[in-house]
Structure 1
Amino acid sequence: MKRSPALVVSVLALVAGTAVAANAAGTPHSGPAAAPPRHALSADAAWCAQQGGKAETRVPYYTGTGEKITPLGGARDMCLFTAGDGSQIMIAADTLAADKPTLAALAYVRKPSGPSSPGNPSIAYCQGINGTAMFGNKPTDGGGWGPKNETDPSKAISACMFADGSVIDAWGLKYHEGGVIRGADLTKKFRAAIPGA
């Protein structure tokens, strides 16, 4: 069947006009000009970004020993700060943006002394100030928070969780207690006024 050039141009004009009209009316279409939907940041993630951090949804993983990594239920918006030297600190976005002081914020700012340990000093410090970073009751029961669909156990960041649900990077907390800033100094980045800051 032979088509006339005028018919082809008319059909193309009709298709283009329909797509433009649908776009103007707010109706999504599948053409290349369609922009992907943008999701608004949560208030906690927006506070993270205002402070210079990067908000990421992270999930908990059980790592145990060896190379096995098992995703666990739940997810949480975390705020990641990275320094020019490549060091990082992670804190739960809702911990950073809380209107009132949290136990994690108090631990970071006040730097309470904690026990030293021949094993993992960040876990020992977290436990010594009444937090937990453990995923079981044996020293080999490891875990942490990582990006969704992570397969590398080393990407799961160990975090210290306190009784009020606040969460902060266990190594970042331990280093800060020793006077070393990793990623960023969070002292003035908390939304709440932290006593002792």
Structure 2
Amino acid sequence: MNATVMEKPAKVAKNGVDVPTLLATLGVVKEMPAAAKFQFRAKGQWVSGTHSRAAINGYFGAGEEHGREADFVVEGDHPAVLCGADKAPTPVEYLLSALAACITAGIGNIASVRQIDLESVETTVEGDIDLQGILGLNEEVRNGYEGIRATVRIKGDAAAEDLEKVVRQSVARSAFFDMLTNGTKVDVAVAT
């Protein structure tokens, strides 16, 4: 009697994600955990008023230094109602967009590994802040967000419960979500 062995089909690139390379990377990191140690950097400069500019380039990861062909430049400012020139989003708006980007990227990776074709993903993030804290008007009001809400709208070729599992896993693995919900130690040194 011959037994037929069914092989799983190989995972293929999906949703713009190179799934075989992603899975190979996971395998390398599993075997060499030191390869997972990364350091990212940004260098900010004051422009004028509340307007600033940060350059992002160069990072350490996978055991070596990496550079990009050109800097990514991110500008920050405050709206006129907050004494700014409204030349760019506020830093707290960047925080919301970074959370949205992290969750959305995770969804793309996870759905692709699960071989789910995505039609669309839209992550909307809102944050509530009371500026009395930042302005020094009320010591009982914190300086940062009092609460943040994210809503993910996702469409793909899987059942709703499977799409929800993709979103839940993305949130569970999101570095940005982790930093916001568990806090991260931040040291500030002053050089003159």
TM-score (norm 1): 0.21
- Higher strand content, 1 or 2: 2
